[in-house]
Amino acid sequence: MDQMLPQLDRRKTQAAVEAILEKYRIYKTITFEVREANVTASYTERFHGPTNVTSDQTAQVAVYNVDAPATRQAYCRMIESIVERLGEREQTLIRERYMKEDDVFDYKVYNYVLDPPVSKDTYTKIRTRAFYKMALAFADRGLLTLSELQKAKACNSK
């Protein structure tokens, strides 16, 4: 079976991958707020009659307090495992620029972080290649849909 790699729009791919990495950074830096159950009775009018609804607020809160952090951790582990599969320079670029602090800019990475320093054009090539690989991996994991990122085919008019 001959399967060709898809041609992805560079700007759409960059925006989509940056959004996923931004979510990763938020999950890593913003602390999780634990929910607590209400212990005070609510004073709302309640009509008598069968509602056929059973609710257990304490159980719902407990499930949320366990599941939400576990979901965040699983998401972060998945992103980290995808980044680990990139090449050495690509890993360094993605980790330093997108997975750490908010105030890191491209010029700082290609001038000071990458060893040896690279030009802006070379940096863009490395980043584009890394984003392409990551987009394919994210699509395999269900975080992206490649059909939305593919280049629009030009119409041939005669």
Please check whether residue 155 lies inside any domain of the structure. no
In the predicted structure, residue 60 carries a pLDDT above the cut 90: no
Determine the pLDDT at residue 158: 46
Residues in the chain: 158
In the predicted structure, residue 56 carries a pLDDT above the cut 90: no
Please check whether residue 150 lies inside any domain of the structure. no
Please check whether residue 70 lies inside any domain of the structure. yes
Please check whether residue 1 lies inside any domain of the structure. no
Determine the pLDDT at residue 134: 97
Across all residues in the chain, what is the average pLDDT?
A: 87
Please check whether residue 4 lies inside any domain of the structure. no
The Cα 7–Cα 13 span in angstroms is: 10
Percent of the chain's residues with pLDDT above 70: 84
Cβ atoms within 10 A of the Cβ of 79, count?
25
Q: Which domain, by its residues, includes 86? A: 10-29+58-144
Determine the pLDDT at residue 32: 84
In total, how many domains does the chain have?
Answer: 1
Lowest mean pLDDT, pick from 82-96, 97-111, 132-146? 97-111
Please check whether residue 125 lies inside any domain of the structure. yes
- Burial class of residue 149, CB neighbours in 10 A (0-12, 13-18, 19+): buried
CA torsion sign for 111, 85, 131, 31 is: negative
CA torsion sign for 145, 151, 152, 155 is: negative
Lowest mean pLDDT, pick from 117-126, 136-145, 146-155? 146-155
In the predicted structure, residue 76 carries a pLDDT above the cut 60: yes
Peptide bond into 116 cis (omega under 30): yes
Section 63-72 average pLDDT: 90
Please check whether residue 100 lies inside any domain of the structure. yes
Section 13-26 average pLDDT: 96
